[in-house]
Amino acid sequence: MREQALFIAGPVGNLEALYLPQEDAKGIALICHPNPVKGGTMQNKVVSTLQRTARDAGLTTLRFNYRGVEQSAGNHDMEQGEVDDAQAVFNWFRQQHPDMPIYLLGFSFGGFVAGALSARLEQQGIATKTLMMIAPAFYRLDMNHPFCRTAQTTVIQPEQDEVIEPKSVYAWSDQLKLPHELIKVADCSHFFHGYLADLKSLVAARL
């Protein structure tokens, strides 16, 4: 199965995306990529691993480039702009597949985007079934409402992360009042070098 390249109208112009519909899908999975200022795109290898894992779990998938990334219009915002982009892409996605269970997955900066989007959707009366945040940039989240309160939420954190301080993620997790699972991946760096198969197994077991 090949993903279909397309453009989706965003708040500041068209957003480049890759879409893989599946017959008899059990849900829709939106996947958010890492920091665009640091070269993050929807082709990032962790994002690609998440897409394949969601596909193999029987989910229809969609990944996209934020504003200012590759062929997506606009300029980087690095705050709520990228969440606005995710909302626009999600709205299109849901129109194609109404009433399907919602799965949101994000890596690094994308973990912030996925979490923030789940909180927005909850405020709009839309429940996220599963939220996966991989080495998330948690400090960007609204600490009063970081993510959907009813989602099955998993945080996967490499123990040798050189980008996101692991101890700060653990401390954030400890003080969260929302139900979630924290998984620590020993000897693993931020980009999961040599550990993508482990990541796939961890994610697959929770989709």
Question: Across residues 157-167, what is the average pLDDT?
Answer: 97
Could you tell me if residue 23 is left (phi over 0), alpha (psi between -120 and 50 degrees) or otherwise beta? beta
Give per-residue pLDDT as tens, 83-122. 999 999 999 999 999 999 999 999 999 999 999 999 999 9
pLDDT of residue 79: 84
Give per-residue pLDDT as tens, 8-51. 999 999 999 999 999 999 999 999 999 999 999 999 999 999 99
The number of domains in the chain is 1
Q: How confident is the model at residue 1 (pLDDT cuts 50, 70, 90)?
A: confident
Q: How confident is the model at residue 187 (pLDDT cuts 50, 70, 90)?
A: very high
Give per-residue pLDDT as tens, 52-78. 999 999 999 999 999 999 999 999 998
Q: Which three-class secondary structure state does DSSP give residue 78? A: coil
Q: Which three-class secondary structure state does DSSP give residue 97? A: coil
CA angle 5, 14, 17 (to 5 degrees): 25
CATH of the domain at 194: 3.40.50.1820
Structural domain containing residue 64: 4-204
Could you tell me if residue 178 is left (phi over 0), alpha (psi between -120 and 50 degrees) or otherwise beta? beta
Using DSSP bridges, classify how beta strands 13-20 and 27-32 pair: parallel, antiparallel or unpaired. Answer: unpaired
| Residue 83 · residue 49 · CB < 8 Å | no
Cα–Cα distance between 96 and 83 in angstroms, integer?
20
Nearest to 114 by CA among 34, 203, 205, 19: 34
| Token pair in block for residue 10 | 């965003």
Using DSSP bridges, classify how beta strands 181-185 and 130-134 pair: parallel, antiparallel or unpaired. Answer: unpaired
Cα–Cα distance between 148 and 123 in angstroms, integer?
9
CA angle 192, 193, 194 (to 5 degrees): 105
Nearest to 109 by CA among 92, 85, 145, 88: 85
